[in-house]
Structure 1
Amino acid sequence: MTIAQGILVVVGLLSGLVLIGALLWSIARPSKRIWPPNREHSVIPNIAWGLTLAVFGAVIGLGILDWKSASMANPLRWAVGPFLIATGNLIVWWGAFSIGLKATSGAKDELITSGLYRFSRHPQYLADMAILIGFGLLFASSWVWPIVIVGVAALTFAPLAEEPWLHEQYGSKYRDYCAETRRYL
C-alpha cells in the first residue's frame, strides 16, 4: 500500500466511523441528536456533507489508485458496477430535486410522499448505498470494500436517526406515510 492509498483508507474509514457515531448518538439520544440538526442555521449539515463526500471521495480515489487489485468477474465489474452508479445517481438527484436542498440537508420543509417517495421513504440513502457498492464493484479494489461497508452502514443508520425527528415534525401525516411506504424498498 502506498502512502496515498493509506491516507485515503484512513480518511474514508474515519469519516464513515464519525458519521456512524453521530448517527448512533442521534438514535440513542433523540433529544440531544446530532442528525438532523436541532437548528435550521446549523453547521451540522455542512459537516455531514463533508464527511459523506470524504467517504465517497476516498472510495473513488482509492479505487483509481488500487484499480483491480482484487479478482472480480468482468460482467459484475463492467455491467453491474456502472449500472448501480448511474441508477443511484439518477435517483439521488431526482430525490434531491423532489424534496429540495433544504430538506436534503436536514431542515424542515414540506413532507413529500409522491414520486420516488411513493416507493421508499429514503430513496436517496438507498441510492447512495447503490453508488458505493457500484464503485466497489467497478474498481475491484480490496482496499475500497472496508470503506464501502462503513459508508453503507452509515447510510443504513441515517434513516433511523431521522425518523423520530420526522415523526415530531409531521405527526400523524408521517405515521400514515410510514404505514403505507417501506423505509428502503
Structure 2
Amino acid sequence: MIDLPSWVSWSLFGLAASSICAIIGLSIFAVLSGKFQFFPPPSGNSWQHRTFMALFRLFLYPLLALSLLDFASVAPAYAVLQYTLGLVLLVVGFALAFWITFQMGWRNAFGEKHGLKTQGWFRISRNPVYVATWVGMIGWGLLANTLLVWILLALWATMYLLAPVFEEPWLEQQYGQDYLDYKRQTRRFL
C-alpha cells in the first residue's frame, strides 16, 4: 500500500461515491417523476447521455486510482489463493462483459434502438452484461483488498441491480410484444 495522506483516499472515494449515487438518484428521480428519461438515455447526443457518461467516468477513474493507490496486500498465507482467484474473476468477468456488449452493439447498450437481442448469452439472462460485470467486480475487490474499494464496487453492483427497473419500460415501449414475450421466457439475471 502506498502511504497516501488520508485526504487523498477520502477525496477519491467521495468523488466516486457521489458520482455513482448521482447516477442512481437521477435514474430513480426520472422514473418517479415521469418528467424525463435518464437511463437509458433518450439519444446519444442528449444531456442525459452526456451526464451519464461524465458521472460514470467521475466514478470509474477515481475507483481505479483508489484501487491502485490504496491497495492493501493480503496475508502471505492467503495471497496466492486470493490474488489468483481475484485475477481470474476480474479477467473473466470483464472480458465476458465487454464481449457480450460488443455482440449486442455499443449503441444498443447505451439506449439506442438497434434490435432486441435474444440469442447467445441473452437466451440465459436478459442482463448478461450486468451478471458478468458482477463477477469481474468480485475479482476486483479481491485484488484491491480495501474497504473503500469494496464499498464503491457495492454501489456499482447496486446500480446494475437497479438498472433493469429503469431499462425495462423503455424496452417494452421500443419492442412491444416481442420484448414482453422475451421477458416472460428469460430470467432477469440468472
Determine whether 1:113 maps to 2:118: yes
Q: Distance in 2 between matches of 1:49 and 1:128?
A: 17
Name the TM-score, length of structure 1 as normaliser: 0.88
Structure 1 residue identity aligned to 2:118: T
Determine whether 1:5 maps to 2:9: yes
Higher-Rg member (1/2): 2
Q: Which moved more, 1:25-34 or 1:58-67?
A: 25-34
Q: Distance in 2 between matches of 1:76 and 1:46?
A: 41
**Residues 13 and 36 of structure 1: is their aligned pair in 2 closer, same or farther, counting only changes over 3 Å?**
same
Q: Distance in 1 between matches of 2:75 and 2:170?
A: 43
Name the TM-score, length of structure 2 as normaliser: 0.86
Structure 2 residue identity aligned to 1:49: M
**Residues 88 and 50 of structure 1: is their aligned pair in 2 closer, same or farther, counting only changes over 3 Å?**
farther
Partner of 1:44: 48
> Paired residue for 2:139, among 134, 137, 146?
134
**Residues 29 and 134 of structure 1: is their aligned pair in 2 closer, same or farther, counting only changes over 3 Å?**
farther
**Aligned length in residues:** 185
**Residues 94 and 113 of structure 1: is their aligned pair in 2 closer, same or farther, counting only changes over 3 Å?**
same
**Residues 132 and 110 of structure 1: is their aligned pair in 2 closer, same or farther, counting only changes over 3 Å?**
same
Structure 1 residue identity aligned to 2:57: L
Structure 2 residue identity aligned to 1:133: I
Q: Which moved more, 1:68-77 or 1:95-104?
A: 68-77
> Paired residue for 2:167, among 162, 165, 169?
162
Q: Distance in 2 between matches of 1:102 and 1:63?
A: 29
Determine whether 1:60 maps to 2:64: yes
Determine whether 1:145 maps to 2:132: no
Please state how far the C-alpha of 1:111 moved relative to its aligned partner.
0.6
Q: Distance in 1 between matches of 2:9 and 2:44?
A: 37
Please state how far the C-alpha of 1:79 moved relative to its aligned partner.
2.7
Q: Distance in 2 between matches of 1:71 and 1:2?
A: 22
Q: Which runs of no fewer than 5 residues in structure 2 stay unpaired?
A: none
**Residues 132 and 55 of structure 1: is their aligned pair in 2 closer, same or farther, counting only changes over 3 Å?**
farther
Determine whether 1:17 maps to 2:37: no
Partner of 1:174: 179
Aligned-residue sequence identity (percent) comes to 29
**Residues 16 and 40 of structure 1: is their aligned pair in 2 closer, same or farther, counting only changes over 3 Å?**
closer
- CA deviations on 1:36-74 (whole Å, 9 max, x unpaired) are 223453132232233223333222211211111677943
> Paired residue for 2:105, among 77, 100, 108?
100
Q: Which runs of no fewer than 5 residues in structure 1 stay unpaired?
A: none
Residues 108 and 169 in structure 1, CA contact (< 8 A), matched pair in contact too? yes
Q: Which has the higher contact order (CA 8 A, sep 6+)?
A: 1
